Amino acid sequence: MNKKRFAAVSLIVVLFLGAAFVVARTAVFKPADGVKGAKIPPGEYDPAVWGRHYPLEYKSYQRNLAMEPSPAGYGGSMKIQHSIRQPEILTNFKGMAFGKDYAEDRGHPYALTDLKETQRITPKSPGACMTCKTVHLIDIYKEMGWSYAKTPLGDLFPRMKHSIVCGNCHDPATMDLRVANPAFIEAMQRRGVDIKRATREEMRSYVCGQCHVEYYFEPETSIVIFPWDKGLHPEQMYAYYGDIPKGFAGDWLHPDSQVQMLKAQHPDFETWIGGTHGKAGISCVDCHMPYVRESGKKYTSHWVTSPMKHIETSCRPCHSQTPEWLMDNVKTTQNNTWQLQHTAGKTVAKAHEVIGKVRLLPNISRSDLDKARELLRKAQWYWDFVAAESSMGFHNPSQVMNVLGQSIDLAHQAIAAANRAGGRTIDRFMADSMQQIE
């Protein structure tokens, strides 16, 4: 064989092996499907009952009860207050519930208990708050439609026994993946996507995307809405909110700066979708619920936690780099994100303080003050979009860095505009704000 031909044949062989690997990864790694047909009756939500038919999945689900920090240093399953490490949260969320209680999230079995215990809600809070916390949403929505959303939470509590369990993601008859949250189905419909026609690969992210997203409650009805009509990028969602959809002007009025603020809620799906892995079609489940083996059986791990606790099963099926390299890469991204997030948060807090002071001065320029408020609203949205996201930058490092950079710039512009409104010079504002941020 001459060299050219050898090269061509080698290339074909390599391409074939590559394609075979991709097919094998989904086909061969997929667990043997001998468990279907257990036929759990509809309305049976107790995970222990499901667990009698699916013991391996149940046993791994039970691991979600363990609480431990992430080995990478940021995430983790501990119920700790974010404001300990980021005191700027107390300023930025002043006047609303997150200023009182904003704990790190933990495992799915705790969602309902945490909902009942958080100081952010009372029995009078809207029923909409339970949408992503319990499997009983399914029956309650079937019975009441969206009217459950404005029913007081206290009236619905007696009907809620189980947290996020098997039924949130599986049809009991077929064990196929399903989406229970109507808000996700409707938001996708408005984007022209019919969930019923989703592929298995897509469902492996949609089941998570039904809850791990940004949302708001429509005024009057409290219906849960995902602000995706213009797109899933933070800038597109900000533009969507700018139109005051169905009279929704914001989540609360900040008492110091008097700005109508938006509160971002864990936009994991939106951040992931534009990142390297999201674009490559790698699902949430690939990393967070990897295939594992036990006594010769292959199954999907239902321990939904930081993938950095099991790099070998989460990352290494696709990456040949060493576990140390992968851990170091994640830590670097997270450290860089944390540093800019903290800077952005503090700069935003400073802007609230400056606007809060300037607005009480006599003879100020109203138009400059309005400008400052608009800049601050956007700066905080960009900061919060990252701060509320769960992966400390990993799901989409380049977007996160860009958004935080814009947040810092917008917050400085807000401070400058507020100082102009109060007739203060730029030099003075720079000196003051630099001192505060250090």
> Which 299-328 residues touch ligand HEC, going by CB under 6 A?
299-300, 302, 304-308, 314-315, 317-319, 326
Nearest to 303 by CA among 62, 31, 51: 62
Q: Cβ distance 40 to 49 under 8 Å?
A: yes
How far apart are the C-alpha atoms of 66 and 304, rounded to whole Å?
A: 11
Q: Which two tokens stand for residue 240?
A: 């969507």
**Cβ 176 to ligand HEC shortest distance, Å:** 8
**How many residues of this chain interact with ligand HEC, rule: CB under 6 A?**
76
Residue choice 130, 138, 153, 164 for contact with ligand HEC (CB under 6 A): 164
For 139-152, b/e burial (b = at least 16 CB within 10 A) is ebbeeeebebbebe
Q: Which stretch binds ligand HEC (CB under 6 A): 161-169, 249-257, 366-374, 406-414?
A: 161-169
Residue choice 276, 322, 332, 339 for contact with ligand HEC (CB under 6 A): 276
A 10 A CB-CB count for 398 gives 12
The verdict on 392 binding ligand HEC (CB under 6 A) reads yes
Of the pair 77, 407, the CB lying nearest ligand HEC is at 77
Residue choice 130, 140, 187, 211 for contact with ligand HEC (CB under 6 A): 211
Amino acid sitting at position 162: H
How far apart are the C-alpha atoms of 289 and 303, rounded to whole Å?
A: 7
Q: Cβ distance 377 to 259 under 8 Å?
A: yes
How far apart are the C-alpha atoms of 311 and 30, rounded to whole Å?
A: 19
CA-CA-CA-CA torsion sign (389, 391, 396, 398): positive
The verdict on 81 binding ligand HEC (CB under 6 A) reads no
Q: Of 395-414, which residues contact ligand HEC (CB under 6 A)?
A: 395, 397
The verdict on 187 binding ligand HEC (CB under 6 A) reads no
Q: Which stretch binds ligand HEC (CB under 6 A): 10-18, 162-170, 373-381, 426-434?
A: 162-170
**Cβ 167 to ligand HEC shortest distance, Å:** 8
Residue with tokens 């049976």: 44
The verdict on 75 binding ligand HEC (CB under 6 A) reads yes
**Cβ 333 to ligand HEC shortest distance, Å:** 7
**Cβ 220 to ligand HEC shortest distance, Å:** 25
Region for 300 from its dihedrals, namely left if φ exceeds 0, alpha if ψ lies in -120 to 50, beta otherwise: beta
The verdict on 277 binding ligand HEC (CB under 6 A) reads yes
The verdict on 288 binding ligand HEC (CB under 6 A) reads yes
Q: Of 30-69, which residues contact ligand HEC (CB under 6 A)?
A: 31, 35, 47, 50-51, 54, 57-58, 61
Quote the distance between the C-alpha of residue 15 and its chain's center. 37
A 10 A CB-CB count for 1 gives 8
CA-CA-CA-CA torsion sign (345, 346, 351, 357): positive
The verdict on 88 binding ligand HEC (CB under 6 A) reads no
Q: Is 304 helix (H, G, I), strand (E, B) or coil?
A: coil
**Cβ 178 to ligand HEC shortest distance, Å:** 10
Q: Which two tokens stand for residue 46?
A: 């107790």
**Cβ 158 to ligand HEC shortest distance, Å:** 20
CA atoms lying within 13 Å on the CB side of residue 56: 15
Of the pair 284, 421, the CB lying nearest ligand HEC is at 284
Residue with tokens 């996507």: 193
Site pattern 118..157 for ligand HEC (x: CB under 6 A) = --------------xx------------------------
Q: Which stretch binds ligand HEC (CB under 6 A): 85-93, 264-272, 411-419, 423-431?
A: 264-272
Residue choice 130, 156, 169, 351 for contact with ligand HEC (CB under 6 A): 169
Site pattern 349..388 for ligand HEC (x: CB under 6 A) = ----------------------------------------
Q: Cβ distance 330 to 355 under 8 Å?
A: no
How far apart are the C-alpha atoms of 118 and 192, rounded to whole Å?
A: 36
**Cβ 121 to ligand HEC shortest distance, Å:** 13
**Cβ 310 to ligand HEC shortest distance, Å:** 9
State phi, psi for 139 to the nearest 5 degrees. -70, -40
Residue choice 89, 166, 372, 416 for contact with ligand HEC (CB under 6 A): 166
How far apart are the C-alpha atoms of 36 and 177, rounded to whole Å?
A: 13
Site pattern 238..257 for ligand HEC (x: CB under 6 A) = --------------------
Q: How far is CA 183 from CA 151, 180, 211, 215, in A?
A: 17, 9, 9, 9
